[in-house]
A and B are shown apart, each in its own frame.
Chain A
Amino acid sequence: MGRGPSAFNIVSVVLGLAFLYAPIVILVVYSFNASRLVTVWGGFSTRWYAALFQDRQMLDAIWVTLRVGVLSATIATVLGVIAALALVRGGFRGRLALAGGIYATLVMPEVILGLSLLLLFVAAGLPRGFWTVTLSHATLTLAYATVVVQARLRSFDVGLEEAAQDLGCPPWKAFVLVTLPVIAPAVAAAWMLAFTLSLDDLVIASFTSGPGATTLPMRLYSQVRLGVDPKINAVSTLLIGLVATGVIAVYLVQQRDERHKRLGLGHT
């Protein structure tokens, strides 16, 4: 294995990465452009970041998005852990149907999900706003959270919970004191995944949001239609930074967990 990558390998990797990341790099670079014109480089500046923090509407949108993200990710993770427990441990009839029902939302077109949620809220007479977006995002991300937690629970040794019960824990306490800490990395990963998904969502938010609850992707989209403002580059850069941090954190947490498992903690 002493040979390095061939010229062909290098070219394909460079081209692949360029294809994926060139637009993002351009966006990030131009967020530091001093010029008002998006296509003309006028020197390095952070003025658009400063301007961004003056923009009341943009700040509101960021604040709404973060709140929706945190809340919906938390709801989705809690429900996801419960659903994963039922799917992995439950010996009840219709478990396959439940699994199918949960996974269906993974492949359901977002437009349809958004539309159906909108119809539901209208039928139920709920005023659309912050809570409807939050609930809709929890619906969207629940399936992802369930999949992540379920994968970890499958390899979890039930003997650990039995040991905890044997040593004096009622079942719920065995779960809290042993199962939850052991699967915590997967639960954290599920939360971050749900949060990131909520952060990017435009389609479902467009359907289910109402006045006073404009999320950042909605704000960006409506602004871009009026012409690209360099502030958008700045806020997008921040968004990319946040999402990238989340993805990298999930990756690191899962790596650590894998390493722990590989070391073999007395269970297979």
Chain B
Amino acid sequence: MSGRPQIGGARQTFAPWDDPAARPLVRFEGVSKGFDGAVAVDDVSLSIYEREFFALLGPSGCGKTTLMRLLAGFETPDAGRILLEGRDLGPEPPHRRPVHMMFQAYALFPHLSVAENIAFGLKRQGVARAEIAARIEEMLALVKLEGLGRRRPDQLSGGQRQRVALARALAPRPRILLLDEPMAALDKKLREETQFELMALQQTLGTTFMIVTHDQDEAMVVADRIAVMREGRIVQVGRPVEIYEAPADRYVAGFVGDVNLFEGRIAACEGPLIRLATDDGALDAEGAGVVGDAAWLAVRPEKVAVHTEPPADGRNRLAGTVLDYGYLGDWTTYLVETRPGRTIRAARANATRTLLRPLGCGDPVWLTFAPSSAVVLTK
């Protein structure tokens, strides 16, 4: 992350990826995979560290599931290698890899009870009977399903099945647990609860987790680091705060959260600040670039302040009228038209119970944002 400002560094103590001496648990080296001529994974190199909660984020069809299946052994790379603790996994079939997967549709064995499902992997490892019984109890307690060991999968709710799938994959103590859209089938409320439980579980066990998801909120909540994928390639790898506050390009900025983009040319560089000449006037933001190059200024809606009175003169000031707004309860998002055809999103936290809304459609407003709250992107 050289050249970029370090953000939120104080709270983060777990960062083996910044330690040049740390050995990655899993390493993808130039891995590519195609299906019938279409490229699914394109020259991906990636390191995942012990105890890390790693998220692969991208829209459907971006190759994230294929990348996970390559690690599980269900697909064979066309090029490149996948290493686990420095050992090439290439020749090993799925059943010999110490990598377990929680399937999206859970894939619970319908003819076996919950306990037998959990014991399945342990039996294959030849674990002793008494040990298996103990491990089943331990796993049931871990996923809070005590007493349900004798049930069949069809006698469980969706959330319970998800927990059984998790327990089954964790029981044989994998070196890394792969989770394929683990919460896709749960409703919003349950999904949020489960996200926090999953994080707590990962902390308790210290197992490395790799999750595949298309839900950026989910990735932001659970992951230590996120890899954003697009069309088989990894666009950016970083901590959630880096992905959100210092996106590598316009694609990442737009995929993770909302963003306002201003297209222009770099007019001047003053230390960490860049002045961009745009159709909305000269705007300042942080970043790096070469004078004269095309660039984009990106600023998140919640970093754009909305004023009802003209603010004191300063940088990054835009006048407009409220075109529309959306009240979300905790936030209100305003769509402000600064000139015909140009709208900017600004979000305000509803910190007080303003039952009489202070702003409505057609009201004149002024928008400002601090140069340090915006970032210049060159891609």
Contact = CB atoms under 8 A, between A and B. Distances in A.
A127 to B, nearest CB: 45
Nearest to B98: A168
Interface string B75-107: 000000000000000000111100111010111
Residue from B105, B107, B121, B124 with most neighbouring chain A CB atoms (10 Å): B107
Interface of A: 157, 159-160, 162-171, 174, 178, 181-182, 184, 260, 263-268
B245 to A, nearest CB: 37
B94 A165 contact: yes
Nearest to A265: B110
A174 B94 CA distance: 12
The bracket for how many chain B residues form the interface is 20 to 34
A266 B111 contact: no
B265 interface: no
B168 interface: yes
Interface of B: 72, 74, 93-96, 99-101, 103, 105-111, 120-121, 124-125, 153-154, 161, 165, 168-169, 172
A266 B95 contact: no
Contacts of A182: 109-111
B120 A266 contact: no
A110 B229 CA distance: 60
Contact of B101 (A157, A163, A170, A171): A163
Given A165-B74, A168-B172, 13 more contacts: A159-B103, A162-B103, A167-B100, A167-B120, A167-B172, A168-B96, A168-B124, A182-B110, A260-B154, A265-B108, A265-B153, A266-B110, A266-B165
A45 B169 CA distance: 65
A160 B103 CA distance: 9
Task: Determine the main DSSP class of A at the interface with B.
Answer: helix
A169 B95 CA distance: 5
Contacts of B101: 162-163, 166
B121 A160 contact: no
Contacts of B95: 165-171, 174
Contacts, number: 79
Contact of A159 (B93, B107, B120, B121): B107
B206 to A, nearest CB: 21
A159 B110 CA distance: 12
Contact of B105 (A157, A169, A174): A157
Contacts of A160: 107, 109-110
A265 B155 CA distance: 9
B149 to A, nearest CB: 17
A168 B73 CA distance: 12
Contacts of A167: 95, 100, 120-121, 124, 168-169, 172
A166 B93 CA distance: 9
Contacts of A157: 105, 107
A265 B125 CA distance: 26
Contacts of A265: 108, 110, 153-154
Contacts of B94: 162, 165-166
A184 B172 CA distance: 28
28 contacts: A157-B105, A160-B107, A162-B103, A163-B103, A163-B107, A163-B108, A163-B168, A165-B74, A166-B94, A166-B101, A166-B169, A167-B124, A168-B96, A168-B121, A168-B172, A171-B95, A178-B111, A260-B110, A260-B154, A263-B154, A265-B108, A265-B110, A266-B107, A266-B153, A266-B161, A266-B165, A267-B107, A268-B105
A166 B100 contact: yes
A160 B112 CA distance: 12
B264 to A, nearest CB: 49
B154 to A, nearest CB: 4
